Amino acid sequence: MAVSGAVFKYYLYKATEAVEFYRPIMYLYLLSQGLSFTQIVIIEALYNLTTVLGEVPTGYVGDRIGRRNSLLVGSALITATLVGIAFASTFVAFALLFICWSLGYNFRSGTEDAWVYETLTDVSASDEFTRVRGRGQSIALTAGVGASLVGGYLGGLDLTYPFLAAALFTGLGLLVILTLDEPTTYEESDSSEMGIREAWGVVTQAVGQRRLRSFIVYYFVLFSAITYLVFIFLQPVFESVVTDFDLSLSVPLPVPSSDGYSTITISTDNVETLLGAYYAAINLVSAALSYRISVIEKRIGLRRWFIVIPLLVGGLLAAMAFVPPLALVALFVGWACVEPTRVLAGQYVNDRIETLGRATVLSAMAMVSALTVIPFQLGSGVISDAMSPLLALSAAGVILVVGSIAILLWESPIERSSLGPNPEPGE
């Protein structure tokens, strides 16, 4: 298959990810089913514990059975889980479903990037990974704009509907995956014959590199853990802020009236619709950044990006405790930066690991991230129940700022070769 055809199918697959259908209402749904904040973070912790225990094995399986088959298994599990969540009603049921959900993403996490990178390597275009991966994520986020609005609307009717809609679209993605070919680079790498001991050796050799160790701590441990908390607590924090401060949304429309224009006002009585619009706006900004991610990489440079973004996000989160309405800005920036940063991290890591066992290594790094976030989740859940989700996120922001500064003083997480075109003096 010509690489252009393969990339087009990848873009089509990204458009079916469908997470934005349920994202605006997911935690409101869990709360509506009688779960407490502590129970919610427990099932999230189970999700991440499953990731810890399953990432390397599923990455290894992905290296053995092939990229396409691994994506098929993962997408099928996710589709079935979304249907199950729509009909679940107990803490135990949600706990089991979140474990299955995690396994589904385990099968896709390292495999997707590995498939893209190796498909481009087939035509000596691996340096195009950032552009292709960024545009793929941009397509997913742009599709998510409509999905957020529809999901918010469907959630206003019934909080189970967005999950069913997401299951339908994820199921369509299975049809796209069936048309994908295995990269020649993968087929020639002997990954399908790699033993468990050899796979473990590949992982330890990769993560033990001096050029990756501080980056793993900086991005996969610290930044990923804190931004995951933004994902968990965005909805309850948003709801409390707009309700406490009566922040209704008025949208000017070019319709003649006595005042020169008319407005549509979305009141705080319909938080689901407000959340849908808020997530849609986040997706638009994130999509724009992801689409132009190769420009960011060249003009700003990875090192500047990875220094500024964690400190900016952490500072905004910390400031929420003193200026609560600032939460709307902090949450927006914190979540809008996640996908572009993930794309840049993917390029940086892929450039420093070998094809043999690539999915296993990428899954191992996701495992490190999932393991780290568990104590953050449990601690933030206790603080949220005892005080408020806003204060829990503010505390996380302080940890992000202090931790980032400590790592930067210890060792630069980005190699000099990854700087932008105009390195600063002394770099």
CATH number at residue 188: 1.20.1250.20
pTM above 0.75, yes or no: no
Report if residue 347 sits inside a domain: yes
Report if residue 424 sits inside a domain: no
Lowest-pLDDT range of 23-32, 119-128, 337-346: 119-128
CB atoms within 10 A of CB 56: 23
Sequence-distant (6+) residues with CB within 8 A of 376 are: 225, 226, 228, 229, 396
What average pLDDT does range 140-147 have in this prediction? 80
> What is the per-residue pLDDT for 263?
44
Q: Distance between CA atoms of 125 and 119, rounded to whole angstroms?
A: 9
Report if residue 427 sits inside a domain: no
Residue/partner pairs of 33-39 with CB below 8 Å, 24 or more apart: 33/88, 33/89, 33/94, 35/91, 35/94, 36/385, 37/236, 37/381, 37/384, 37/385, 37/389, 38/381, 38/382, 38/384, 38/385, 39/91
Highest mean pLDDT among 61-75, 100-114, 123-137, 385-399: 385-399
Q: Distance between CA atoms of 35 and 402, rounded to whole angstroms?
A: 32
Residue 205 clears pLDDT 60, i.e. is over it = no
Using alpha carbons, list the distances in angstroms from residue 103 to 23, 79, 195, 218, 384: 19, 12, 21, 25, 27
Sequence-distant (6+) residues with CB within 8 A of 378 are: 41, 42, 45
Report if residue 265 sits inside a domain: yes
End-to-end CA distance of the chain: 42
Residue 315 clears pLDDT 90, i.e. is over it = yes
**Mean pLDDT computed over every residue of the chain:** 77
Report if residue 423 sits inside a domain: no
Using alpha carbons, list the distances in angstroms from residue 218 to 77, 167, 170, 304, 400: 31, 34, 32, 14, 10
Report if residue 292 sits inside a domain: yes
> What is the per-residue pLDDT for 293?
81
What average pLDDT does range 350-379 have in this prediction? 68
**Pairing mode, strands 249-253 and 262-266:** antiparallel
Q: Distance between CA atoms of 402 and 93, rounded to whole angstroms?
A: 38
Q: Into how many domains does the chain fold?
A: 1
| Cβ 349 vs Cβ 369: under 8 Å | no
Domain carrying residue 257: 3-418
Lowest-pLDDT range of 13-27, 56-70, 179-193, 282-296: 179-193
Token look-up 């008025």 returns 250
Residue/partner pairs of 399-406 with CB below 8 Å, 24 or more apart: 399/222, 399/226, 399/314, 400/222, 400/223, 400/226, 400/310, 400/313, 400/314, 400/317, 401/310, 401/311, 401/314, 401/315, 401/318, 403/222, 404/218, 404/222, 404/223, 404/307, 404/310, 404/311, 404/314, 405/311
Q: What is the pLDDT of residues 176-201, one digit of tens each?
A: 888 877 777 655 555 444 445 545 55
